[in-house]
Amino acid sequence: MLIGAHVEQTDPIAEAQARDTTVVQFFLGDPQSYKGPVVRYAGGAAGLRADAEAAGIALYVHAPYLINVATTNNRQRIPGRKLLQQHMDAAAEIGAKGLIVHGGHVQDDDDPAKGFDNWRKAIEATDIKIPLLIENTAGGTNAMARYLDRIAGVWEAISKAEGFDQVGFCLDTCHAHAGGNPLDTVVDDVRKITGRIDLVHCNDSRDEFDSGADRHANFGSGKIDAELLAAVVRDADAPVICETPGGAAEHAADFAWLRERL
């Protein structure tokens, strides 16, 4: 099973090798900015693609946190769609296996159906060149991907969109736990809705079940039962990215902790 980590973006290959893994995730540019993607690798996009392929390293790109294609706020949705396309193009250029994007939310007084339909429009408006993986989120009172019924609403809407065959799902364990979704059934629950889990973000949580707080912890130091974490990874049977705190040493310890329980 592939187990890797979210790493610093300047040299993802070196970061993977420092962790003795063949899969990493990173940002392209500033995750808190509407500015377009930046490839910081010394060899540029073409060099990163070639060097990663030569080293046998799978790359995943996480889209900026600011992207919210569901919202009814035009000042967020329109630049968010543009930014999503820019990151899709850049991720495809480096040969990434997928682009991960959060499910977003609508405003508190909005009908969630508006958000579902905005997701459909976003899929249709995006030239999807590599798998676009929608990630469940931990908080928000009107979130599109916190609760299972909302994920179902998104999936029903986007299933009618051209390009849907290139849309997948990224399951985050911290987000599921903090979002109020029991980890002992979440893999089956999600699969019943989406038919697939393409990537797992395996993270412990600093907070209690259904807290709505997105605060990741290293394995064994948080509030999620160890066997539940391992069971999600085992049952999902997809590549794993650990977005846990620390650098290479801490991530290597998390990999070992997880593999021991698998």
First to last CA, the chain: 10
pLDDT in tens, the chain (262 residues): 899 999 999 999 999 999 999 999 999 999 999 999 999 999 999 999 999 999 999 999 999 999 999 999 999 999 999 999 999 999 999 999 999 999 999 999 999 999 999 999 999 999 999 999 999 999 988 999 999 999 999 999 999 999 999 999 999 999 999 999 999 999 999 999 999 999 999 999 999 999 999 999 999 999 999 999 999 999 999 999 999 999 999 999 999 999 999 9
Backbone phi, psi, residue 7, to 5°: -130, 170
- pLDDT value at position 13? 98
- pLDDT value at position 141? 80
Reduce the DSSP state of residue 126 to 3 states and report it.
coil
- pLDDT value at position 134? 98
Torsion angle (degrees, nearest 10) of CA 185, 243, 212, 151:
-50
pTM beyond cutoff 0.95: yes
Q: What does the alpha-carbon distance between residue 124 and residue 228 come to, in Å, rounded to a whole number?
A: 37
- pLDDT value at position 133? 99
Q: What is the DSSP letter of 53?
A: H
Q: What does the alpha-carbon distance between residue 64 and residue 47 come to, in Å, rounded to a whole number?
A: 23
- pLDDT value at position 140? 82
| CA-based nearest residue to 185, from 194, 198, 176, 175 | 176
